[in-house]
Structure 1
Amino acid sequence: MDKADFDQILQKYLNGQAGKKETDFLHAYYNAFEQSQDFTSQLSDEKRLALEKHLQSRILKNLGNKKRSRTLNPFFLKYAAAVILISGIALAYFIFSGRLTRQNKFPQLVEKQHQKSKEIVLTLANGSQINLKNGVLASAVQELGATVKSKENGDLDYQALSGKPAQESYNQVDVPAGKQFKITLSDGTKVWLNAVSSVKYPVAFQDAQRVVYLTGEAYFEVSKDKTRPFIVKTKQSSVEVTGTEFNIMSLPEENDVRTTLLEGSVNVAYANSSVKLIPGEEAISNIPNHTIIKSKADIENAIAWKSGYFIFNHPLKDVMATLSRWYGVKITLDQKLEKSTIAGKFSNKRSLLQILTYMGKLKGFSIQVQGNVFELTSRR
């Protein structure tokens, strides 16, 4: 079947004139496309957004919408995508060669939003900043007490120099939306930073304590040193360990700080309270109430981000907050949807429109795009 035949079947479906065989064919094609990410996974975020905008314009054209409404019907998006895939070679040529039209406002607005921080940024002890293009430090940097360089896999690595530096100096790494990053500190501790997160740390640890400062979310694999406890400080709490693996989520916009322990033991302190965790437990420090609550942890959910996944079993409001943070956009939803709950596992390599389209199909909402704002409206 060539593209013209497929276009004809699709148009009949959109007009409510498709027969059973034609409808079954489109459903089968839709399911096949839903399970395959090979084509879009090769595109950069910007180019994938450009593709989606192109798909949206095709949908509107097929629907004959004279008002050019931006409401996206989940089914139409995927079926239009299927059309594009049939002629994917030609489209891929235009995308990869940069010849796709730049008149699409949405990709440009998203790009503009991240203009100042679309790359991972390393701030050195003297205050100078280095943009780590594609997460890589182009050449080694000599700091006071350590040499900083990128490993072959892109991780940032600190190699402590012999001797004790005259003073302790700090570096900082800031990770923008849609990215993650791994750092190996001078003591061998490994830190995985999630999107929209930053960590400040000594170039070389000197004191009796190894102290780092976190904003956002990070996973720590702490190098054992019983003589020098490792302490992670956030604005709300501190976590002290000697050698262990744990995850901390301390988002500026939320009132809770969540510490989840995988191995070893940690002591979580906040205000005048503290709790000790064993593997499989988590502590939630609540800012307004000045309390710490210990409970059993959902480990898979807590560290899914580290493997590149979202795992949801939460109210839509919380789910959209997570997606908004990762993709660097604003997502609003009407009151009918706020209490609705959704469960599922999604790769963070999928585009936001792909995830929202799937969710919209399940929960019955439409999507409107206005600049970098996604508005979700219940159709029920």
Structure 2
Amino acid sequence: MERDSAFGVLIVGTGAIAELHIAALRASDRAELVGLVDTDPARAAAASYANGGVRSTTDLTEALAWPEVDGVIVCTPNGSHATIAHAVAAAGKHLLVEKPLATTTVDALAVLEDFRRAGRVLATAQTHRAYDYSLAVKSALDSGRIGDPLVIRATLLGGWIWGDWRSWAIDPGASGGHSLHNGVHLLDLVCWWMGARPDSVYARGRKQTAGELEIYDYLELVLRFPGNKIAQCEMSRAHRPGVISHRDVQVIGTAGTLSLPWDAEPSLVLDEQGMSVLLPAGGNGFARQLTGWLDAIAGGDALASGEDGLAAVAMAEAAELSIATGQPVPLTALAVEVVP
């Protein structure tokens, strides 16, 4: 970055998730929105108007050449992430990409290699890592209060948020399926909490909302880790009413247990000292995520790196394969060496 002003960010894709990233930029004193890209001219113009007339275009190549652009946040449908990421790396810009990093492990690995060669920071928007509940669980585990985690159960249940049957989120070609579109949240979280990568994934899926769906909207995922540790994940977009969400976390460790009930933000920790409440720190997840990306660009660590994004994609792809075959899928591909 050569300018003395704040870090200039280009947003690619102006849908609902982009609004949350833009709000985080507005609240930041380190970064600013300098441009917007959308393939739909009307959407690009509307987003520009809503954000004070910031420059906009339908041409990504044009926008990447704007001198005020230092980094890019990608908020487009999943199937386009890898192609856009390659263009960002070629332009020498830093990238924060919405999950998943790509819709195949091969594509995710190629993106990671591109950014390593370019010497630019690649971060993935695994936003649940930045939420209060997940940080509270991570803090408790890192402190050693419940010892070594042996079993983790994580549940996220809700109803669908698509607008209609034309939504890209229910198109397997555009989204990659439910494991990649939503399942990556829990797959990434339980590995982050466990502090390890799994050996295998076993998954079941159901088309619960409607038989006409081309993807599974209800998932059960079982991850087996070294040392006979296990994580169980339940991820649904099939529950009713759709406006109600249910989240539940339980961790059994060698020295205690942690429980985060669905209707409460604090975690309950039960150990040799008895029961206590672990209060999460207040804050905005998208703002934390942005800060983590900027910290990584300055030489620190992102909340979720490109390597984390690759791991999440590999687990999700394995989950889809497991659903298709009815068998656990080994994850030896996660331990891949990326060519510099």
**Superposition TM-score, scaled by structure 1 size:** 0.25
Is the radius of gyration larger for structure 1 or structure 2? Answer: 1
**Superposition TM-score, scaled by structure 2 size:** 0.27
More strand by share: 1
More helix by share: 2
Q: Which one has more relative contact order, counting CA pairs under 8 Å at least 6 apart?
A: 2
